């Protein structure tokens, strides 16, 4: 009697889509990050993000989360090749940084460890290809980390002095009775001290972050165009901050000290960002006349 055998109906593992495992691992990763960094975000919200200087932190975090979610298809589009031999030492370094920052209450290290943790996790999930895909949100997350106090102290005074000098000269040329002593501006019967918040350091940090996000959304193909926009945000931020100080000086001169320190003080802060956005957009339109004709317009997404 002849015995015939039929081929077994086995599933080809290599033919299965590779996205299911990373997505399950992604769920575990998100839960782990929430447990680990949840107290950090609570502390940032209570101490750092509640100030005018670092109030942009939640916006940066939300933008990074949105960008990573938007590129999830690209991260898991093909079979992943994890790089554990690089990811695990990096993850160990980030855990050590987090532990030191958490135990010593150094929020810069505690929050900054996320800059190492996320790349390590992406290397574990997606490998080098995923890290290259997600480079922008990982770099953009840098703007969420509070500035070190030493850096703030070293840069605040020179910036305050520069803002005071320029604001005094512009108003003096405009015919106003203004004088300056250090970082104190005297106009009429009033004296205004240019505070640390008016130095422009934190607004520069915020505007630079917004500029990078703008360039990412616009998706310009010209590297020269992006570099010019990124560098130009520095003088744009300075000009915007000088405009803010001059507005506060004029409000105080015409309407009194209470008006300058009340609602108008917060309104001048909004003017700062309005002026910066207008100048950035105006520069972008000027650059469009040069780079759009040479293939530097928006690329396909």
Report which of 205, 229, 204, 208 is spatially closest to residue 218, judged by C-alpha positions: 229
Annotated active-site residue 121? The verdict is no
* Max Cα–Cα distance, the chain, nearest Å: 117
Where do we find the tokens 């480079």?
135
Annotated active-site residue 126? The verdict is no
Q: List C-alpha distances in Å: 202 to 6, 10, 145, 158, 205.
A: 73, 61, 12, 14, 5
CB 210 within 8 A of CB 175: no
CB 75 within 8 A of CB 130: yes
CB 225 within 8 A of CB 296: yes
Point out the catalytic residue in the list 64, 121, 126, 198: 198
Phi, psi of 54 (to 5 degrees): -120, 20
Residues with a catalytic annotation lie at 198, 244
């Amino acid at each position: 009697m002849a015995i015939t055998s039929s081929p077994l109906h086995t599933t080809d593992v290599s033919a299965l889509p590779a996205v299911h495992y990373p997505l399950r691992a992604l769920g575990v990763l998100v839960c782990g990050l929430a447990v680990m960094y949840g107290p950090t975000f609570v502390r940032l919200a209570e101490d750092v993000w509640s100030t005018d200087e670092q109030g942009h932190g939640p916006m940066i975090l939300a933008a990074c989360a949105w960008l990573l979610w938007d590129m999830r298809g690209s991260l898991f589009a093909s079979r992943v090749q994890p790089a554990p031999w690089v990811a695990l030492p990096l993850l160990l370094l980030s855990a050590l940084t987090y532990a030191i920052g958490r135990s010593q209450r150094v929020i810069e290290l505690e929050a900054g460890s996320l800059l190492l943790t996320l790349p390590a996790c992406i290397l574990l999930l997606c490998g080098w290809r995923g890290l290259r895909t997600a480079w922008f949100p990982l770099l953009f997350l840098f703007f969420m980390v509070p500035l070190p106090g030493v850096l703030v102290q070293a840069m605040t005074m020179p910036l305050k002095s520069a803002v005071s000098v320029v604001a005094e000269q512009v108003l003096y040329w405009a015919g106003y009775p203004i004088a300056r002593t250090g970082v104190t501006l005297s106009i009429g019967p009033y004296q205004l001290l240019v505070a640390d918040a008016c130095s422009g350091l934190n607004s520069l940090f915020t505007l630079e972050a917004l500029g990078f996000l703008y360039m990412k959304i616009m998706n310009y193909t010209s590297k020269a165009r992006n570099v010019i926009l990124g560098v130009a945000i520095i003088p744009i931020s300075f000009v915007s901050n000088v405009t803010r100080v001059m507005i506060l000086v004029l409000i105080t001169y015409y309407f009194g000290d209470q008006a300058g320190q009340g609602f108008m003080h917060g309104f001048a802060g909004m003017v700062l960002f309005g002026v910066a956005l207008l100048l950035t957009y105006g520069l972008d339109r000027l650059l469009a006349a040069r780079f759009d004709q040479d293939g530097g317009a928006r690329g396909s997404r």
